Amino acid sequence: MAHAGHGDLGYYVNPEVGFVFADDERGTDDGYSFGIAVGRPWTETRNLELDLTYTDLDGAEVYGLGLSLLSYLGESADRFYSVLRLGYASSDGHPNDDYDAVELGGGLGYRLPLMGFGDLRIEGTLEADLHSNEESSNFGEKLFFLDPTVTLGYQIPLGGQKRSVDRPDRDGVSVVDSAGDADDDGVGNDIDLCPDTPAGTPVDGTGCAPAVSPTVASDCPEPQADQAVDANGCAVVPSTLLATVQFEFDSAELTADAQATLDEVATGIAGGSGQIEVAGHASEEGDEYYNLDLSQRRASAVRRYLIDAGVSPARVVARGYGDDVPDSMDESREARRANRRVEVRAIK
Domains of the chain: 12-157 (2.40.160.20), 165-347 (3.30.1330.60)
- Show the 3-state SS of 42-109: CCCCEEEEEEEEEEEECCEEEEEEEEEEEEECCCCCCCEEEEEEEEEEEEECCCCCCEEEEEEEEEEE
pLDDT at 60 over 90: no
Q: Which of 322, 173, 336, 312 is nearest to 248 (CA)?
A: 336
pLDDT at 20 over 80: yes
CA distance 139 to 128: 17
Q: Is residue 320 helix, strand or coil?
A: strand
Strand 316-320 relative to strand 276-280: parallel, antiparallel, unpaired? parallel
φ and ψ at 117, to 5 degrees? -155, 125
Average pLDDT of the chain? 77
| pLDDT single digits (tens) 99-124 | 888 999 999 999 887 765 778 999 99
| pLDDT single digits (tens) 188-247 | 666 566 666 665 555 555 566 544 333 333 445 566 666 555 555 665 667 788 899 999
CA distance 215 to 237: 11
pLDDT band at 74 (very low <50, low <70, confident <90, very high): low
* Torsional sign, CA 153, 157, 162, 167: negative
CA distance 342 to 321: 10
